[in-house]
Amino acid sequence: PSRLGRVSTLVSSALGDGTGNSVATSTSTDRYTRVRSAVAEFGRHEVLSESGAHGNGGGRTPPNELVYGELSLPVLATILDAVGVQEGDVFLDIGSGDGALVLGASLLYAQSNCRDCKNVIKKAVGVEIVPGLVDRSTRHAQTLDGLLDEMAIASSEAADGVITELRNHQSEVEFLLGDIHSAGSDERMSSLLADTTLAVCFATTWSAGNAKKDHAEESKQTKGTATQRSPTSGTSLQGRKLPKLSRALSKLGQGARVVIIDGRLNESDGFDWQGDLRITCPDTAPYSVASLYHKR
């Protein structure tokens, strides 16, 4: 099997999917359902908290509406190859969900056939706002550790060095509970971004809230003019502006690379757009657009 195939199978097993294939199984579907339930429960809790805080007793929409989506490891590998992983990179998955991309990134560039070589990705980090998903990710990381230990022993007996090298050269993995939007006031989030050199964000998380905000801002800016609104503006994920996320990510260091799937960052926040990559994702059929930015 290829390196990607081995890593996909390992991560899928750690998550309880039981397969590295792109075709959903009953176990992967069950996991996906549980993840969506955790996100929905967190969203309901946030609505109730906000309602109580404002005394309106109603279901006020949270500022960041949560829409869960997943990228596959093959898609992540395509994105990282297009970006160009550099030695010593610190990888960050913004909205890391069940932890699959973080665990995958920690193994994809583990060196093989080189006892003293280091992993190109020094550390893989996930930040997630839903506590239940951070707990799940931590358990998945522990399961992956156990699988790697077991398979490394079996591999050494079978003279298969690839799994052993994956075990020996896996990146450091960390999952954090937090809101990346708070980077301006949260020193922990600000420090995380300052250390990050390569970040990925699947922007479905903020799709609904930003659509409403962008529509309001555009209406305000074009009031009294003859500017015609695009029929797909505010509804299509492609090209969606993410002003709040863009401001938060301005805390990234110079030279950091950022990939936003189905969203746009603002040049005024220090981001230079490098190009787009069309990718396939079941959650945003028929395709999604990964936009690459460099931080000035």
| pLDDT tens track for 31-55 | 878 887 787 788 777 656 655 554 4
User: What backbone torsions phi and psi does residue 131 show, to the nearest 5 degrees?
Assistant: -55, -40
pLDDT in tens, 207-238: 554 544 544 444 454 444 333 333 333 334 44
pLDDT in tens, 61-98: 354 556 677 899 999 999 999 999 999 999 999 999 99
Q: What is the mean pLDDT of the chain?
A: 80
Q: How confident is the model over 171-177, as a mean pLDDT? A: 97
pTM of the model: 0.81
User: What pLDDT shows up at residue 228?
Assistant: 35
Residue the block writes with tokens 């079996």: 154
Q: How confident is the model over 91-113, as a mean pLDDT? A: 91
Identify the top-confidence range among 12-26, 45-59, 217-231, 273-287: 273-287
Tokens of 39: 């996100």
Residue the block writes with tokens 């305000």: 220
Residue the block writes with tokens 């097993």: 13
The answer to whether 272 touches 247, Cβ cutoff 8 Å, is no
User: Does the pLDDT at position 262 exceed 50?
Assistant: yes
Residue the block writes with tokens 């990559």: 277
Q: Closest by alpha carbon to 288, among 42, 75, 33, 24?
A: 75
Q: Omega into 286 within 30° of 0, i.e. cis?
A: yes
For 1, 64, 131, 156, the CA distances from 190, given in Å and listed in that order, are 40, 19, 20, 42
HSE (CB half, 13 Å, CA atoms) of 14? 29
